[in-house]
Homo-oligomer: A and B are copies of this chain.
Amino acid sequence: MADQKLTGKIARERIRLMAAPRPPEGVVAGLQALGDATGIVADVMDELGITGVVPASVLKPTIAGARIVGPALTVRNIPQREHVYETARRRVNRMAEFEAHNLALPGDVVVIDGVPGVSNMGGISSQTGKRQGEAGAIVAGGIRDVAHSRGVGYPVWATEVTPVTGKWRIETVEINGDIDVAGIRVSPGDIVLADDSGVCFIPRARAVEVLEMARRKSAAEDAKCKAIDAGTPVPDLPGGA
């Protein structure tokens, strides 16, 4: 990593970590093995007193049925100062989520504290993320070219979809810092879990604990589902999942 080649789109000192911290052994595979994961994990986080869940009504998935798990690689965007009429003409492009793709390790989830009303990630960017082996992206802000990202199988959860580019409108000011995503503080390396119901951000330090408890809960839910299929009357269904 010492001699990682950079894109130059963002100053080196604004990259707080060259790589998001790696998830504890087995956590990603363990979470992938659970069914209906965001519901179960949200319950576990409730019981452990951990915040970090965002509804799918807020961060909307681009690919129905998609489900991802992986460590967060964070990006922060803010508006540019100059008038877009001028920056577009002069092609002043200050977006640097490509640096995040450059730094991404396989399985990473790019998480963007973005700018509303404009695209913080387009189709070519999504294709690049896919090639880098990323699991997908979470964007608090707009994205575009959803047919493109769907086409390459790169799922994104975003608050908005718009053709309007962020290139001339926003600036990436930090990579792998702590960010605010839809009201949740996300740190690089936090475990991101996303599906049709929403997104959970699990603090890295608590991921093993969350996984273990989620496994128990999942087993209990499976038993309950079997009881339902077996025709157990509602009042006799096992409780507690």
Most buried by B among A131, A234, A237: A234
Chain B residues positioned under 8 Å from A185 (CB to CB): 78-81, 171
CA of A176 to CA of B53, assembled, Å: 31
Give the shortest distance, in Å, between A10 (CB) and chain B (any CB). Answer: 12
CA of A89 to CA of B115, assembled, Å: 28
Identify the closest chain B residue to A8 (Cβ).
B235
Interface SS majority for chain A = mixed
Within A116-132, the residues touching B (CB, 8 Å) are 116-117, 119, 122-124, 127-128, 131-132
| In the complex with contacts A39-B145, A162-B53, A124-B234 CB distance below 8 A | no
| In the complex with contacts A161-B196, A162-B56, A197-B162, A124-B224 CB distance below 8 A | yes
Interface string of A168-186 (1 = CB under 8 A from B): 1001010000111001110
Give the shortest distance, in Å, between A84 (CB) and chain B (any CB). Answer: 7
A interface residues, how many (CB within 8 angstroms): 94
Give the shortest distance, in Å, between A220 (CB) and chain B (any CB). Answer: 10
Copies, count: 6
B43 touches A180 (CB 8 A): no
A144 touches B38 (CB 8 A): yes
Chain B residues positioned under 8 Å from A165 (CB to CB): 39, 42-43, 46
B6 touches A55 (CB 8 A): no
Question: Which of A17-25, A26-34, A225-233 is the interface stretch?
Answer: A225-233
Within A33-50, the residues touching B (CB, 8 Å) are 35-36, 38-39, 41-43, 46-47, 49-50
Give the shortest distance, in Å, between A223 (CB) and chain B (any CB). Answer: 10
Which of B53, B123, B164, B183 touches A53 (beta carbons < 8 Å)?
A: B164
Which of B55, B146, B228 touches A163 (beta carbons < 8 Å)?
A: B55
Give the shortest distance, in Å, between A62 (CB) and chain B (any CB). Answer: 9
Give the shortest distance, in Å, between A217 (CB) and chain B (any CB). Answer: 11
Give the shortest distance, in Å, between A63 (CB) and chain B (any CB). Answer: 10
A positions within 8 Å CB-CB of B: 5-8, 35-36, 38-39, 41-43, 46-47, 49-51, 53, 55-57, 65, 67, 78-86, 88-89, 91, 93, 98-99, 101-102, 115-117, 119, 122-124, 127-128, 131-132, 142, 144-148, 150, 160-165, 167-168, 171, 173, 178-180, 183-185, 187, 195-200, 203, 221, 224-225, 228-229, 231, 233-235, 237, 239-241
